[in-house]
Each structure stands twice: as C-alpha cells, then as structure tokens.
Chain A
Amino acid sequence: MEALKYIIKRIIQTIPLLIVVSLISFFIIRLSPVDPLAELKLNPSISPVTVEKERQRLGLDKPIIVQYGKWAYSFVRGDLGITSNGERVSQKLKERIPNTLLLTSIVILLTWLVGVPLGIIAAVNWKTPFDRILTVLTSIGMAIPSFFFAVLLLLFAVKTGWFPIGGLTSPNFADMSFGGKFLDIAYHLVLPVFVLFTISLAGLQRQMRGNMLDVLDSDYVKFARAKGLSEFSVVYKHALRNALNPMITLLGFEFAGLLSGAALTEYVFQYPGLGRLILEAVLKSDINLVMASLMMGAVMLILGNLIADILLIITDPRIRVKS
C-alpha cells in the first residue's frame, strides 16, 4: 500500500515537470527567427485555407503566452498540427516512435544481459589480467564516436554485402509472410543495435564493476565472509542485490543517453526513428514537427525515469520505508 502511494505521488510529480519542459521547448523554438508557417506557405500543394487554419490554431497574431496556451491545449487534446508536407504530425510520430523504442529497448536488454555479468566478473576478479583487459576494452568502447563507428560499419556492410545498407525494411517488405517480416526487421536492426550496444555496454559494465567493488568492500559482506558463507553465496546472494539497486536508477539515464546516441546512429543508417525525424524536421525548420518530437523525446525520457523509480521501489525496501 505504501509503495502504491509512493508510485502515485511520483506519477503526479511528473506533471509539473512536463509543463516546465514544454515551456522551455516552446520558448526556445519561438526564439528562432524562422516564420513557423514559411514552409507551409511555400508548399504549392497546401491551400491558403489550411495555412490560415494553422495560423488560427497556433494563434500567431496573439501574444506569446496565449500562443503557448493554445499550443498546450491542442497538444493535450492530441492535435499536433501538420508538417510542412501537409501530413499529420501525430501520424508521423506514430510511425517513428515505435521504431526508436524497438531499437533502444533491444539495446538496453542486450547491454544488461551482457554488461551486468561482465561487471560482476570483473569486480570479483579485481586487478587480474581479465579485469585489466576488460577495462582497456571498455575505454575503447567509450571513446569511439557513435557516428564514426556507424560509418565504419556501413563501410563493412558495403564491402562484404553481408548486411543491408540502412533502413528498417527491405523494398519487398509488404509481400513477406509474418516470419519473413520479423527476420527482415531483425536483419536490418543488427548494425544499428551493434553500434549502440558497443557504446552503452562500456558505461554499464564500468558502473556495475564499480558498484560491485563498493559493495564487496562493505562491512556486511565482510561479516558474511566471516560467518563462513561460500564465496558464491556472498557474491550472488548478498552483494549482487545491493549492487544492482543503483543500476536501476541508472536505467533512466541510460535511456536518455541512448535516445541521444540513437539520433546520430539513426541518421547514418537511415533508420526511420524519432531521432532522424527530429533531425529532418530541424533541417527543414518544420516547427510543428520539431516541437512535437522534442516533447515526445522528453515524455519518453520522463517515462523511462518513472519506470526506473518504480522498479527501484519494488527491489529496494528501504525506499518504501523512507517515503
């Protein structure tokens, strides 16, 4: 019950956060000297009536506070306006967000499956050659610029022909069976996932190693050892649980880092995700699209943190007591 109360409180806390985020994004974009309707006006396939409707909807003739109010009102109602091509922004986001979520969730899953065990092994074998080699490898992983790594992998794909050169689906995707579709997407995901995996694995492994080292140094672990427990049960029963808690907090941050890293990777691999969408929108100064994808990015990040916090309540009883 206590936990539930805390979770509800935590969810309510995100509302003011979202409002401030939307204020910040709104004013940053309004700072720009670009006329938000310029692209629409230039597009001959869009009628002046539609442009006028957009002007009304955005309230561009009114003071900026009113504009914000109008924007926020229609945002809450799910009306995000139209892109400079005349498509609905909400439609565009619906296509792109699942792709980015797919990419990032696979990467997070893989990094946890590999990074956490590697961190534990490195900490248990602290200062052995194995640990040293892992430290060197993670240093290298952290230092490669994601876009450069992506470019190198593309080069590899072009030279060997083993992997598709970007995109998420093959041209004949629509004709495939369900299994074929699944395999096709998986095939296209290999390289982008590999780039993001390499880069985020390094950070995660280090964090886990550090946490584990801290915990192994603590008094209760010494006590467990003194009691004569087997090394296995000391490490995996007592130390691991406590070392994992800070990692869950980190999950939210990892998600944030991945969203940013994914933007460049998506760009290089021509992957139809949110990061590339916002980049295209920025380059075309498509204000509605920029604004909406920025908000969506923030919403995803806040939700990520929220999930991490809720997981933490479940795994760490101390927080429940404190709240």
Chain B
Amino acid sequence: MIKEVLQKLWKDKFARAALIVLALIYLALFFADFIAPYTKDFSDRTMAYVPPSKVFTIDETGKLSKPYTYNYVREFDPVNLEIKYSLDRTQKHYIKFFSKGQPYKFLGLIPMKRHLFTTDQAGRIYLLGTDINGRDVFSRLLFGGRISMTIGFLALFVLFPIGLLYGGISGYFGGKVDALMMRFAEAVMSIPSFYLLIILASILPSGMTSTQRFLLIVIILALIGWAGFARVVRGMVLSIKSQEYVQAARSIGASRMRIITKHILPQTTSFVIVAMTLSIPSYILSESGLSFLGLGIQQPDASWGNMLKEAQEFTNILYRPWLLTPGFLIFVSVLAFNVIGDTIRDVLDPKSRER
C-alpha cells in the first residue's frame, strides 16, 4: 500500500515538488556540518549584525574571476549615531571549495575538516549575515533545522504508541473503563493546547543539558497531542471490534491485550499514516512558537524558532531582514508537509477516489 501511495504522490505535480523540496532540506540538514562554513558555536564578536557577504565573480577590471568576497568593517557614525558596515576593498578573500576549514565531527562521529566552501583564514563568508553574537546565520539555519525538522517526528513517535494503546484499550473494553478514560482525554483536550504547552515548558528545571531539554520538549509536545488522537482511534476500534475475525480470535482464547495490539490496532495503519503526515506541521509550528517565546530550545543551541526570537525587535526586522530567514524556512517546510499530507489523504480516501 505504501508503494502505491508513493507512486501516486510522485504523479501529482504539487506533491512531487513538495517531496523534492523536503528531500533537499533534509539532505542539507544531514550534511549540515559539511555545508556550513562555520560550526554552530563559532562567533566573531567584532562582526555582530553584519549584513550578508557580497560574492563577486567579476573583478574591478571587468574580467571574470574566481569568486571572491570582501570583509565588512564596522564604523561608528558620530553624526547619525549609528553603526555602519562598509566593504574593506583592500583585500580580496577568495572562496575555496572543498578545502580545509574549522574542524568538526561529521554526524558527531567522524572528525573532518573539509567544508563545501570557506575563505582564507582572515576572510569571513556570511551568506545570510550574522546575529547579535556575530554568529553565521546560514550555518545556524542548518544546525537549527536539524532540531526543528526532527522534533515533530520524535514527538509523533512518542505520542502514537500512547494514543493507539489508550484508544485501543478504551474502545475494546468499553463500558465504565471507556467512559472514565474518555472523560480524562476530554479533560486534557479542554485545556487550550498552547496554554498547556507553555506551562509545561516553563516548569522545566533550568540546569539541564541541551540534550535533556530537547528530549523533554519532545515529550511535552507528545503530551499535548495524544488525547485527540486516542479519541479517533477509540472510535475506529469500536467499529472494528464487532467484526468476526475479532470474535474468532477471542474464541481461540487470545488475551485481550493480544487482540488489541495484534488484531485490532494493525487495522488502523492507514489512518495512522495519514494522521502522522498531517500532524507533523503542527508540531514544527508548536516547537518554533515555543522557542520563539524563549521557552523551547535555548541558546547557544539553534532552532528556527529561537533564531526568530531576534525578530521581536523592530530595529532588527527593519534594518536586518536577513534575521527573518528562519521564518521562511518554517513556512516552506510546513507548506511542503501540508501538500504531501493532502495528497496522501486524497489517495487513501476511497470517496475521493471515486470522484
């Protein structure tokens, strides 16, 4: 069935474009260490809020040249009381491809030094400018994307087993168990999810490592979403459990847990796949919203949400528009996931197939 869905996705031109976009994004994130010219924590304090580097391919004599860039120098304008950046045209810094730069560990394992592109030791290449700490926005976009684009999947892997089992037990047992479990799920759903999200995030103790914090945020995101999912699963289980093969399994003497997990829940697979692709975007959005408020992923770690935190200041959005790039990336990836989700729903929905 999955193969059929993939084929149909590929045939639809919007879905194909979305698949390609997502594949490119994830590929770039996978090779982030290599593509990024700087490491996640590299900062040059003298280079705060530097605009994107200009890359030249034609030199001053009008001839084609190897691509090069100039560094920015910071000057204080005492008349207008503002900091200005101008190009230091005295020295060219050639861009070198596949050459040695800052050392890093590829995927955290293999020590490497080569980057897709770097400049010489004194030069700086900031494709998308720098932030308040003089860190390269382009590099941080790649590293931040690793967090933003995986946190949703991880939350789903925590949430789905919980929701499936909860909905399965509730639907199969029925009666008082069902009533009690569903009232509880309804109560969880009655708390506005974003309120619950910020409260859970705010009670996290402060002295955690970034990995611990990341995992706890995954769990919090999962805690928000399981109830609605469990309710739908319960509804499906209610209709499946009266089927003959379930009665057959019961008459052989299979235990109730076995019937739920081995016979009933597998029937909900197609629903689960659709629900998963449809809900990934909302987790990406939740994480970015949380980090935007400063309650999610914390500095010095990057995520698209916490990079956008700087966009809360007017001066930044007015004079440093490159700080808004994470927002566009969130938009593009959520859009791509939505398009794929819609197409999958159309493919799996028997009604829409008839039309």
A residues lining the B interface (CB < 8 Å): 16-17, 20-21, 24-25, 28-29, 31-34, 126, 139-140, 142-148, 151-152, 154-155, 158-159, 165, 213-214, 217, 256, 259-261, 263-264, 267-268, 275, 278-279, 282-283, 285, 290, 293-294, 297-298, 300-302, 305
- Name 20 extra pairs, CB < 8 A, besides A25-B199, A213-B355, A294-B199: A17-B190, A20-B184, A21-B190, A21-B191, A24-B188, A25-B191, A144-B331, A145-B288, A145-B331, A146-B285, A146-B289, A158-B314, A158-B317, A259-B195, A263-B198, A290-B199, A294-B191, A298-B190, A298-B191, A302-B190
Given the interface contacts A143-B335, A145-B285, does A151 sit within 8 Å of B195 by beta carbon?
Answer: no
Identity of the chain B residue whose Cβ is nearest the Cβ of A140 in the assembled complex: B335
A143 and B334 form a contact (CB under 8 A): yes
Give the chain B neighbours of A294 by CB distance below 8 A: 191, 195-196, 199
Q: Mark B320-335, 1 if CB is under 8 A from A, else 0.
A: 0000100100111011
B184 contact set on A, CB distance < 8 A = 20
CA distance A33 to B204 in the complex (A): 9
Residue of A at shortest CB range from B295? A282
B residues at A contact (CB < 8 Å):
183-184, 186-196, 198-200, 202-203, 205, 281, 285, 288-289, 292-295, 308, 311-312, 314, 317-318, 324, 327, 330-332, 334-335, 338-339, 342, 351, 354-355
Q: Which residues of A contact B198 (CB under 8 A)?
A: 263, 278-279, 282
Are B192 and A17 within 8 A (Cβ)?
A: no
CB distance from B53 to the nearest CB of A (A): 24
A-B contact count (CB 8 A): 139
Contact B187 A17, beta carbon cutoff 8 Å: yes
A142 to B341, CA, bound (A): 12
Residue of B nearest to A16 (CB): B183
Whether B334 lies near A297 (C-beta < 8 A) is no
Q: What chain A residues lie within 8 Å of B189 (beta carbons)? A: 256
User: B187, B192, B203, B285 — which one has the most chain A CB atoms within 10 A of its CB?
Assistant: B192
**What 8 A-B pairs are tightest by C-beta distance, nearest first?**
A260-B194, A32-B203, A20-B187, A143-B335, A148-B327, A143-B334, A259-B192, A282-B202
**Contact of B195 (CB < 8 Å), options: A20, A152, A214, A297:** A297
Q: CA of A119 to CA of B88 in the docked complex: distance in angstroms?
A: 57
Across the interface, which residues of A come within 8 angstroms of B292, CB to CB?
Answer: 147, 264
B235 to chain A, nearest CB (A): 14
Q: How far is the CA of A158 from the CA of B314 in the complex (A)?
A: 8
Residues of B within 8 A of A24 (CB): 187-188, 191
In the complex formed, the residue of A with least CB distance to B204 is: A32
In the assembly, what is the distance between CA of A260 and CA of B224, in Å? 12
Contacts of B285 in A (CB 8 A): 145-146
Contact across chains for A148 and B183 when beta carbons are under 8 A apart: no
Contact of B199 among A29, A33, A140, A275 (CB under 8 A): A29
Q: List 24 A-B contacts (CB under 8 A).
A: A20-B184, A20-B187, A24-B191, A28-B196, A29-B203, A32-B202, A33-B205, A143-B335, A148-B331, A151-B308, A151-B312, A151-B317, A151-B327, A158-B317, A217-B351, A217-B355, A256-B192, A256-B193, A260-B192, A263-B194, A264-B194, A282-B295, A294-B195, A300-B192
Main secondary structure of the interface of B (DSSP, over half): helix
Structural contact, B183 and A143, CB atoms closer than 8 A: no
Which among B192, B202, B203 is the interface contact of A298 at CB below 8 angstroms?
A: B192
The answer to whether B187 touches A21 (Cβ under 8 A) is yes
CA distance A268 to B293 in the complex (A): 10
Cβ-closest chain B residue relative to A126: B355
Do the beta carbons of A283 and B195 come within 8 Å of each other? no
- B331 / chain A contacts, CB cutoff of 8 Å: 143-145, 148
Q: How distant is B185 from chain A, measured CB to nearest CB, in Å?
A: 10
Looking across the interface, which residue of chain A has its beta carbon closest to that of B286? A260
Contact B203 A297 (CB under 8 A): no
- Determine whether the beta carbon of B317 is less than 8 Å from that of A267: no
A268 touches B191 (CB 8 A): no
Q: Please, which residues of chain A bring their CB within 8 A of the CB of B351? A: 214, 217
Complex CA distance for A148 and B198, rounded to whole angstroms: 18
